Chain A
Amino acid sequence: MVSAPLIAIEDLTVDFANGPHVSRAVDGIALQLAPAEALGIVGESGSGKSVTWLAALGLLPGKAAVRGSVRLDGRELVGAPPRELEAVRGKRIAMIFQDPSSCLNPVHRIGWQLGEALRLHRGLDRRAADAEALRLLDQVGIADARRRLGDYPHQLSGGLNQRVMIAMALAGQPDLLVADEPTTALDATIQAQILDLLRAVRRDTGMAMVLISHDLGVVAENVDRVAVMYAGRLVEEAPGQELFARPRHPYTQGLLAALPELTGRRRRLAAIPGTVPEPGSLPAGCRFAPRCPAADHRCAIEAPPIQSVAVHHRTNCHRQIEPGFSVWSLPKAAE
């Protein structure tokens, strides 16, 4: 990250109020993203990976309290007036979601929904918007685009709807696309097509991308850098190659150990014992300590700070695990 960051998140915290209970969904996240960079965010559901970006765009419901800072080209987004946020959404930062078919409005035609974004962000009149909508559908690889403009979302498959969502995201010519589990609800073959499309679109437009996924495999091939989240905290961040070759955080190591290998000997897949803590009852120290084979008494009481362990490689672990050593080979882990 030599150039000025496109977006800089500092100490972002999100609390959800549930009556008298407050649960912390995101706890002091710090992240930066350079222009045109692709960042993957990996974590289990409930780790705060989606909430981080919904909070950045002010898309969380009123019961969510967002603190900290999210700067887009130096302009603060947290607490910004609605009008400013509306100017950012879709125009500077576009977002696509997990279930494309329920993200499109069922009572409006595809062409209408695309046209709405084009009129809003590009000030196009009806005719120009129609022509541009056609071009966008073409760009995202939808055959017979003219007919599709007159279709309703329920007449399209999930994969086609996700292509429409991507076209709609492109309508504002954004600098950043946040793709929140864009392929989770789709078949495996469609999933690969959508990821290919995202790659192609990025190559053509030069926009940055945040790819949120619970699937390390999806992230591995599509991003420059990976951030791993666990229970609301960032636990490790490194360039993709580095992270997959030399994971330093026990949680990351566990995730990688749980992946099947295509080459090499067949082995029993390792599962991380235990479950993710509920946001309402988080452990005091390291969030991962109760499930970590390397945890000691310090991990249980003191939250580890995030620190650099190599160039562009940060992790938050007290145990300073050496590269190449996996905590999951400890005798305690084999129990």
Chain B
Amino acid sequence: MLLFAASRLFRALLTILFVMTFAFFVLRASGDPALLILSVDAPPEALAAFRKAWGLDQPIWQQYLAYIGHALTGDFGKSMRDGRPAIDLVMERVPATLAITLPALALKLGIGIPAGIYAALHRNTFADRMTMALSVAGFTMPSFVLALLLVLIFSVTLGWLPASGNDSPVNAILPIITLGTAGAAIMARFTRSAMQEVLGQPFVRAASAKGLSWRRVISHHALPNAAIPTVTIIGFMVGSLVAGAVVVESVFAWPGIGRLLVSAVANRDLAVVQALLMVIAFWMVMANLAVDLAYGWLDPRVRSARAGGH
């Protein structure tokens, strides 16, 4: 088990290093920040001074080594726009993003899981078909379409909720609903199929044959088994808590990680984009690690395989 955890941790670090390296080279290969930040009409001396100031005149591998070296000491560079540490710019945006993605996650799980269980238990009934039809509608609609639709209904027509900004908690409602809808739909489908799979297993019939009530068969025998595959998708959702709201934040002008990413990329603010991608990758990797540990916790077969048993 310890060996398992250590090897997973090593792989996690490797993944983060890979993301940092990839971001570093792609960003430098895809455009010159000096031209973007100073504009194309800037005098050549100014451009040269800018490049020298940010070390962009050095050979790229030297820039890379310097970047990794600094990163190891916790220095992720400064924003080319306002000179503040990039990591600070990123971290101060995290709470705003979590303020909409965490409630959205609660919505996804709180609606998706019960709906999926209900549909599986009432398979092929009208209620099941309705739930699944809604689910298909929910996850096929692009989030920006849903966002604009909600704005049209609740802000423009009814005037109940603000269309954008972050002046009050009420502003968070539409972004949360937009984010939650697609996730709840995916969760419902996934839960339904996991549950259906389990309900067809011989041990469910055997539990009934034992004399247990249907309610207990579901709660103590079917659900703990159906939980195992759904952990994958929940982990995926947890992983996207930080970076999963780029489009929605842009539509609703919500000052979170997503909007920072869009503006930093547009501005070629190299250090900020790199810090963003590093934070996002770190969070995703941690979520994956949590999923792996959850598997062992939920499934004794996985546990003994990792312990090196049979």
Contact = CB atoms under 8 A, between A and B. Distances in A.
A binds B: yes
A89 B304 contact: no
Overall SS of chain B's interface: helix
Contacts, number: 81
A95 B225 contact: no
A54 B206 CA distance: 11
Interface in A82-123: 82, 86-91, 94-95, 97, 99, 102-108, 116-117, 120-121
Interface in B271-310: 298-301, 304, 309-310
Contact of A89 (B203, B210, B221, B225): B210
Given A154-B300, A154-B301, A154-B304, A104 B203 contact: yes
A82 B213 CA distance: 8
A90 B209 contact: yes
Contacts of B202: 97, 99, 102-103
B201 interface: yes
Contacts of A106: 203, 225, 299-301
A266 to B, nearest CB: 40
Contacts of B228: 107
A73 B208 CA distance: 22
A121 B209 CA distance: 12
B208 A103 contact: no
B210 A102 contact: no
A82 B301 contact: no
A90 B309 CA distance: 33
A89 B209 contact: yes
B209 A95 contact: yes
Interface string B218-246: 00110011001000000000000000000
Interface residues on A, range: 20 to 34
A89 B212 CA distance: 8
Contacts of B23: none
Given A86-B211, A87-B211, A155-B310, A104 B301 contact: no
Contacts of A292: none
Contacts of A116: 210, 212, 220
A168 interface: yes
A104 B209 contact: no
A152 interface: yes
Contacts of A104: 203, 206
A4 B15 CA distance: 73
B163 to A, nearest CB: 47
A232 interface: no
A69 B252 CA distance: 65
A172 interface: yes
Contacts of B221: 105, 108
Nearest to B298: A107
A117 B211 contact: yes
Contacts of A95: 206, 209
B214 interface: yes
Contacts of A59: 205, 208-209
Interface of B: 201-203, 205-214, 220-221, 224-225, 228, 298-301, 304, 309-310
Given A94-B209, A97-B206, 20 more contacts: A59-B209, A90-B209, A90-B210, A95-B209, A102-B202, A102-B203, A103-B202, A104-B203, A105-B221, A105-B224, A105-B225, A106-B203, A106-B225, A106-B301, A107-B300, A152-B301, A152-B304, A155-B310, A168-B210, A172-B211
Interface of A: 54, 57, 59, 82, 86-91, 94-95, 97, 99, 102-108, 116-117, 120-121, 152, 154-155, 165, 168, 172
14 contacts: A57-B209, A89-B210, A90-B211, A94-B209, A94-B210, A97-B202, A102-B202, A105-B203, A107-B225, A116-B212, A120-B212, A121-B211, A168-B210, A172-B210
